Amino acid sequence: MNNSRWTSVLLVTACVFAVGGTGFLLDDTPLHCSVRRSISPCTCSYFTGMVRPRIMVICQKMVSFESVIAALQNKFDAVFDYMLNIEYSELHDLDTRRFNELGFPIVDLKLTNNNLTTLPDEAFIGMNRIRILYLSDNRLSAVPTQIFKHMPSIEVLNLARNSIHSVASGDFLILSLMNTFVMATNNLTDITNGSFPTTLRKVQLGANNLTELNGNLRNQKDLEWLFLDDNRIKTLDGELPIDNDKLIVLNVSNNALGHLPPELNCLKALRYFYCTFNQLTGLNKTLSKSKKLVWLELTGNRIQELASDEFEEATMIEVLELSNNCIKHLNKSLLALTQLSEINLSFNKITEFSLAEIKGLKELKLVDLSHNAISKLSGHSEIISEPVTGVEHLKLDHNELDSLGGSLIGITTLSKLNISHNKFTDLSPYHLTGLNLKILDVSHNLLHILPDSSQIHLPALETLVASYNVLTSLSKDFHGYPVLCHADLEYNSIMSIREELVDMTLCKLHGVNSTLRIYLEGNPVLCDDNTRLVTKAMELKHAEVSGIAKCVPVTNDIKYNMTDIDTSAITVIVT
């Protein structure tokens, strides 16, 4: 994953829940407030740096609303704005007192984690300065519509993690300034049409039980973020906002969508689209006009193939996640994606991969083709004229390959190649010629020999993983890897090792001479008395062999009589 990209997306997600609340406090240093002592057990901090300085008051584990009022009443100067959080408290007497008895203006009220089941509307009388209201993490079973009439200035409303079943027509209409609505993790099955004001910019309805949206978001022209993930929505046809050129993030992952709504094409601003774990069988060119799209996740669908013009104008896509689908053919659909930096096609049904599918994609760094059924790599002749891509990391593990077929020749940017769990019986030195590999994983294959040391030259190879093969001896095998530092050869059938193995290597870490580590656990050679002498000699040449020998103690004359097969059988017996 490209780190900076990830951060930006995670930030987007994080912000949904931080809107208004703590988000704007980030670059603001809280100061102690003078009344700190007299409001115990509540605490307060003073924030400058905003248009109007604010005071944040936090009360936790209060035994009653009465005790909140007793602690805070008339302790604060009304010229400031106040944020009040009452959490983990017992507020059974909410109906006997009112927030406005506190005597200071609250703009941001958070009543979270209080086990609230209902909210008496009298408590909120006169709270018309409130812009942010959090009622999340309670046990509300219905929308507390009755309280909204006292708080017409609400811009941010958070009802997440309650047990609300339905939203009735008009429930939120009175909140004509509301721009952020969070109702994730409730038990919503139904939202009656016409429930929201058309001012919404951020909507989070994830983790509910919604099967349809009833046209509720149709007229949200200013909608920027829409999270509908983890519901049971079967179709979004006719549900997406029309004439909307603001929607940037759309998450409909973990639903039951069988196809993408055609109107997706009209969301001109869409940059991040998540539609993982649905039941899409194809894209039907629905995203072909998404010119601003940079991040597309479609993992866990049933997509079988992509049309050649699938992404025709979606040329800004940088990250494309298509793992866990049923893709057999790419049909050169990726060639339009000139900004593509990462593609994940793991767990699909590709049997042959042509490098021509990624020809000319210069920004492409990571290609994951693992867990397919690829038995043939092709396309080399098509790309030889022009350096194919900027690919740095190619994952081809868990496929059916027995040859690279020369397909990688000329990809000078490639530094990490994983062809573990395939069917290689040998590696042709020719197929690795000219590569600047730093890491090569050929473990879990059928290699009985490493590439001929007189023919292979991987001048940058630092890590070689060749465990779980059937290598039998090591002599000049590392001569083609002058800077090797890490050689994992565990669980082979190596019976002999020669000192000359490390004659041509010099491991350097950050330019400083360092030790080449050779891992040999699970090889018969560790039970050979001679090995100790060889490894001692290697230590003088900056190489260190490691691995715990698992041999039954055998006297020399028994050992002397053993055939090769007997020896390997013995090493399997763990002492």
Instruction: Give residues in contact with ligand NAG (CB under 6 A).
Output: 1, 9, 13, 88-90, 115, 163, 165, 187, 189, 193-194, 206, 209, 214-215, 218-219, 229-230, 251, 253-254, 259, 262, 274, 284, 299, 305, 307-308, 323-324, 329, 331, 344, 346-347, 366, 368, 370, 397, 418, 420, 439, 441, 465, 506, 513, 557-558, 561
Shortest Å, Cβ 318 to ligand NAG:
14
**What does DSSP assign to residue 241?**
P
Q: How many CB atoms lie within 10 A of CB 52?
A: 10
- Output the CA–CA distances (angstroms, integers) from residue 50 to 14, 94, 108, in the order listed: 22, 31, 14
Shortest Å, Cβ 574 to ligand NAG:
23
Shortest Å, Cβ 286 to ligand NAG:
7
Shortest Å, Cβ 436 to ligand NAG:
16
Q: How many CB atoms lie within 10 A of CB 313?
A: 14
Q: What is the DSSP string of 489-516?
A: --SS---EE-GGGGTT---EETTEE-PE
What are the structure tokens assigned to 442, written together? 């050929």
Shortest Å, Cβ 91 to ligand NAG:
9
If the CB atoms of residues 11 and 31 are measured against ligand NAG, the closer one turns out to be 11
Length of the chain: 575
Shortest Å, Cβ 15 to ligand NAG:
11
What are the structure tokens assigned to 571, written together? 């090493």
Shortest Å, Cβ 113 to ligand NAG:
7
Say which amino acid occupies 66.
E
If the CB atoms of residues 346 and 571 are measured against ligand NAG, the closer one turns out to be 346
If the CB atoms of residues 25 and 506 are measured against ligand NAG, the closer one turns out to be 506
Instruction: For residue 45, list its beta bridge partners.
Output: 32, 56
Strands of 290-375 (E only): list them. Answer: 295-297, 319-321, 342-344, 352-354, 366-368
Helix (H, G, I), strand (E, B) or coil at 102: helix
Max CA pair span of the chain: 98
**Cβ 354 vs Cβ 335: under 8 Å:** no
**Cβ 145 vs Cβ 166: under 8 Å:** no
Shortest Å, Cβ 445 to ligand NAG:
12
Q: Which residue is nearest to ligand NAG (CB)?
A: 215
Strands of 475-527 (E only): list them. Answer: 486-488, 496-497, 508-509, 512-513, 516-519
If the CB atoms of residues 45 and 341 are measured against ligand NAG, the closer one turns out to be 341
Helix (H, G, I), strand (E, B) or coil at 556: helix
Helix (H, G, I), strand (E, B) or coil at 353: strand
If the CB atoms of residues 171 and 441 are measured against ligand NAG, the closer one turns out to be 441
**Cβ 543 vs Cβ 569: under 8 Å:** no
Helix (H, G, I), strand (E, B) or coil at 322: coil
Shortest Å, Cβ 258 to ligand NAG:
8
If the CB atoms of residues 45 and 216 are measured against ligand NAG, the closer one turns out to be 216
Helix (H, G, I), strand (E, B) or coil at 505: coil
Shortest Å, Cβ 342 to ligand NAG:
7
Shortest Å, Cβ 131 to ligand NAG:
25
Scanning the structure block, which residue is given the tokens 């629905």?
Answer: 286
Instruction: For residue 319, list its beta bridge partners.
Output: 295, 342
Shortest Å, Cβ 359 to ligand NAG:
16
If the CB atoms of residues 416 and 498 are measured against ligand NAG, the closer one turns out to be 416
If the CB atoms of residues 265 and 472 are measured against ligand NAG, the closer one turns out to be 265
Helix (H, G, I), strand (E, B) or coil at 321: strand
Q: What is the DSSP string of 169-187?
A: TTTTTT-TT--EEE--SS-
If the CB atoms of residues 281 and 473 are measured against ligand NAG, the closer one turns out to be 281
If the CB atoms of residues 27 and 243 are measured against ligand NAG, the closer one turns out to be 243
Q: Give dist(CA 26, CA 30) in Å, integer.
A: 10
If the CB atoms of residues 45 and 325 are measured against ligand NAG, the closer one turns out to be 325
If the CB atoms of residues 533 and 562 are measured against ligand NAG, the closer one turns out to be 562
Shortest Å, Cβ 285 to ligand NAG:
7
Q: Are strands 249-251 and 272-274 parallel, antiparallel or unpaired?
A: parallel
If the CB atoms of residues 4 and 561 are measured against ligand NAG, the closer one turns out to be 561
Scanning the structure block, which residue is given the tokens 């584990």?
Answer: 61
Helix (H, G, I), strand (E, B) or coil at 250: strand
Q: Give dist(CA 283, CA 547) in Å, integer.
A: 51
What are the structure tokens assigned to 15, written together? 């912000």
SS3 for 2-56, per residue? Answer: CHHHHHHHHHHHHHHHHCCCCHHHCCCCEEECCCHHHHCCCEEEEECCCCCCEEE
If the CB atoms of residues 341 and 418 are measured against ligand NAG, the closer one turns out to be 418
Shortest Å, Cβ 125 to ligand NAG:
25
